[in-house]
Structure 1
Amino acid sequence: MTQNIEFSEEKNNPKIKQKKQKKLVDMEGVVTHNLSNGKFRLKLENGVEVIGHLSGKIRQNRIKIVVGDKVTVELSPYDLTKGRITYRHR
């Protein structure tokens, strides 16, 4: 009984962070235009054009992305016209 009470206290405690579920859509696309500030215009595999920005890990590791590269993009289900470039394929 005390374990259930402790568990419910942990759940209601704002100091304990719970892991959020990712509800992102992963798509593959090709870079068509290089825009300013690490943004790119991408054409996805289904033919839709979106704007993608570089993820933190790609910036941190200084991975260069040029026009014609095949990339993986995470799209939010709320706005399917913008995404985050998470991986550059070789």
Structure 2
Amino acid sequence: MAKSGVLERDGEIIEVLPAGKYIVKLKDTDMMINCYKAGRMKQSHISVIEGDHVKVEVNQYDMKQGRIVYRYNVATQTPQS
């Protein structure tokens, strides 16, 4: 569940950048944004590679940056509804 003022979007990892940054292409808008992994993902040592489908939290006031909060199951690679 997202906080108020934060939008949750689904996307795909396009490129892995240095220093734990990623470029993610959002599904609904085809927009590319810079993202980083959430703290819980870092603590749990969840790896994210190119081609993974992820859930991203984006601040409604700054749509150019986001935080990766969930990586969908590798076996299915599609968001569960």
**TM-score class, shorter:** 0.7 to 0.9
Equivalence map 1:12-31=2 (5 Å): 22-31=4-13
Secondary structure, aligned partner of 1:59 = helix
Flag the structure with higher strand content.
Answer: 2
Q: Does 1:55 align with 2:38?
A: yes
Any stretches of 5+ residues in structure 2 without a counterpart? 74-81
Q: In the alignment, what sits opposite 1:89? A: 72
Return the index of the structure with the highest Cα Rg: 1
Q: Kindly provide the CA deviation profile for residues 9-50 of structure 1, in whole angstroms up to 9, marking residues without a partner as x.
A: xxxxxxxxxxxx531000000000000111100000020000
- Correspondence for 1:32 among 5, 14, 24: 14
Flag the structure with higher helix content.
Answer: 1
Please state how far the C-alpha of 1:66 moved relative to its aligned partner: 0.2
Q: In the alignment, what sits opposite 2:60? A: 77
Any stretches of 5+ residues in structure 1 without a counterpart? 1-20
Please state how far the C-alpha of 1:78 moved relative to its aligned partner: 1.1
TM-score between the two structures when normalised by the length of structure 2? 0.83
Query: Percent same amino acid among aligned pairs?
Result: 30
- What's the C-alpha RMSD, in Å, of the aligned pairs? 0.9
Cα distance in 1 for residues equivalent to 2:44 and 2:34: 21
| Higher RCO (C-alpha 8 Å, min separation 6) | 2
